[in-house]
């Protein structure tokens, strides 16, 4: 793995219509709006009569779901997925949605998260004769549900309740079956976002509210979260909500607010944009800098930098310009080529930074290599001083609930003290937000957030052999 930035997880969509046959086009639009959550693969599964048809491929939504593909689908109900994998496979077989066909039932599911105990579940299922064709937790989840359906007489509500009781970790799921039902489920800690709403004739379930906004256009749109531990069943336009799992606490992924979700989304009633602005304000309160201008790292640091500017009274300016036609630099082979691609991707606005003391704001530091290159760019552009401010506290532990982290050995905040890191990135000063500032900026109590990557304390129901899990999840 070569990324110096945390990578997106996945995005899911489910749509049901009472009368409209062209649902697949709405799935396409919704997935397009969630493209930031995964660029490795995309796919859809549609119910056509009693047949659940699936199409998926590697690449962006626009290249996988072409007009020819879309025109081949009919039907009033379906699900879709964009993938950035947190398990090793990057093949069509590992892409979602995942289909299970049985003589008594068939369904397709897609989910966002990581089933933390999937290795144990896979071993248990294999002992019972279940054959696996991939290394993904998606297949484990699908085949565990299939087993539950057999045990529950194809009652999806009871089968999903049973499945929910057996899995640990993060799971925001959508499912379409051959009975003409659309389901959504969110784990009881509420790690990942999931919302449900109505857009005209459509009932829409999606990872982020921005997908519903895109579908609504200028029309009215009503939506709200799928609550933690809740199962939503959609059939013939009706929406039923059933509590199938519970937890004494919540553990919303704080990185959705910091980085992953689109700024125009709302996660459990909190505007992601306002949360990021709040993070910047808290950062300015706690760690001010004697400087002349606040400059964001585009695009991830922009809203926090604006908050820092508003709180400090220091002017905000775009001192770095991003070439949006350059591919993602972390996939480039070799450090020299990645350095060259960063130079192609970012350029300094000399008139903004020359001769000035710059506060450079970003959302996070993972390996530190990208930050070092950006600081050097600013200095070559004439910046007199560079003071780095980071809206997320130091990342010291890996994630086992759905974020593709480097290993713990590669997290720079774990291996370097603050003064060592400041020297490494060649900044005049460097400060991270603290956990209190993070919670205050988002507007949630600390015990309602998952802070595992910041503290090493995992909000899971039991302990795991994390070294084994990390080895399985790591992508070479």
Catalytic (active-site) positions: 10
- Give every CB contact of residue 464 below 8 A, 6+ residues apart in sequence: 116, 117, 400
DSSP for 366-418 reads SSSHHHHHHHHHHHHTT-SEEEEEESSPPP-S--SSS-BPPPGGG-HHHHS-H
Q: Do 42 and 83 contact (CB within 8 A), yes or no?
A: yes
Which candidate, 355, 351, 282, places its Cα nearest to that of 318? 351
DSSP state of 87: S
Token look-up 């996939």 returns 331
C-alpha Rg value of the chain to the nearest Å: 22
Which candidate, 357, 425, 430, places its Cα nearest to that of 393? 430
d(CA 51, CA 409): 47
d(CA 458, CA 223): 30
Which candidate, 326, 387, 318, 373, places its Cα nearest to that of 349? 318
Token look-up 């290249």 returns 63
Whether the upstream peptide bond of residue 145 has omega within 30° of 0, thus cis, is: no
* Beta strand pairing call for 252-253 and 449-450: parallel
Residue 284 to residues 101, 186, 255, 259, Cα–Cα distance (Å): 55, 35, 20, 18
d(CA 166, CA 149): 14
d(CA 225, CA 192): 11
- Give every CB contact of residue 113 below 8 A, 6+ residues apart in sequence: 9, 10, 169, 170, 171, 172, 187, 191, 192, 401, 402
């Amino acid at each position: 793995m070569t990324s110096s930035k945390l990578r997106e997880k996945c995005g899911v969509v489910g749509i049901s219509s009472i009368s409209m046959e062209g649902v697949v086009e709405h799935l396409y639009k919704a997935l397009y709006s969630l493209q930031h959550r995964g660029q490795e693969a995309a796919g859809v599964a549609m119910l056509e009569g009693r047949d659940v048809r699936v199409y998926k491929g590697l690449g962006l939504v626009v290249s996988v779901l072409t007009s020819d593909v879309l025109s081949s689908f009919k039907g009033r109900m379906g699900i879709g997925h964009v993938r950035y994998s947190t398990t090793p496979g990057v093949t069509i077989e590992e892409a979602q949605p995942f289909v299970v066909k049985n003589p008594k039932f068939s369904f397709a599911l897609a989910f966002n998260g990581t089933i933390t105990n999937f290795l144990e579940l896979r071993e248990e299922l294999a002992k019972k004769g279940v054959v696996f064709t991939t290394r993904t937790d998606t297949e484990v989840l699908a085949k565990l549900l299939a087993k539950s359906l057999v045990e529950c007489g194809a009652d999806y509500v009871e089968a999903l309740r049973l499945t929910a009781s057996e899995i640990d970790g993060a799971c925001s799921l959508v499912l379409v079956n051959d009975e003409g039902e659309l389901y959504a489920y969110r784990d009881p800690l509420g790690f990942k976002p999931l919302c449900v709403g109505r857009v005209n004739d459509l009932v829409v379930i999606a990872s982020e509210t921005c997908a519903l906004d895109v579908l609504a256009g200028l029309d009215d749109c009503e939506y709200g979260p799928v609550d933690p531990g809740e199962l939503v069943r959609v059939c013939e336009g009706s929406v039923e909500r059933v509590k199938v799992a519970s937890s004494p606490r919540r553990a919303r992924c704080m990185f959705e607010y910091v980085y992953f979700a689109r700024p125009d989304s709302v996660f459990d009633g909190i505007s992601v944009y306002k949360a990021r602005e709040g993070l910047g304000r808290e950062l300015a309160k706690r760690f001010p800098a004697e400087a002349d201008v606040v400059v964001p790292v585009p695009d991830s640091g922009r809203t926090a930098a604006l908050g820092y500017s508003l709180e400090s009274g220091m002017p905000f300016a775009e001192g770095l310009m991003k070439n949006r036609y350059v591919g993602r630099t972390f996939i480039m082979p070799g450090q020299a080529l990645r350095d060259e691609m960063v130079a192609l991707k970012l350029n300094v606005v000399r008139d903004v930074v020359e001769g000035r003391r710059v506060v450079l704001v970003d959302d996070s530091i993972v390996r530190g290599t990208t930050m070092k290159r950006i600081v050097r760019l600013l200095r070559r552009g004439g910046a007199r001083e560079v003071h780095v401010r980071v809206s997320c506290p130091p990342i010291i532990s890996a994630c086992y609930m759905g974020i593709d982290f480097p290993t713990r050995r590669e997290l720079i905040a774990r291996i370097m003290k603050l003064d060592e890191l400041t020297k490494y990135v060649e900044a005049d000063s460097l400060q991270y937000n603290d956990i209190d500032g993070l919670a205050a900026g988002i507007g949630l109590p600390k015990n309602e957030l998952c802070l595992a990557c910041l503290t090493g304390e995992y909000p899971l129901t039991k302990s795991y052999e994390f070294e084994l899990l990390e080895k399985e999840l790591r992508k070479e």
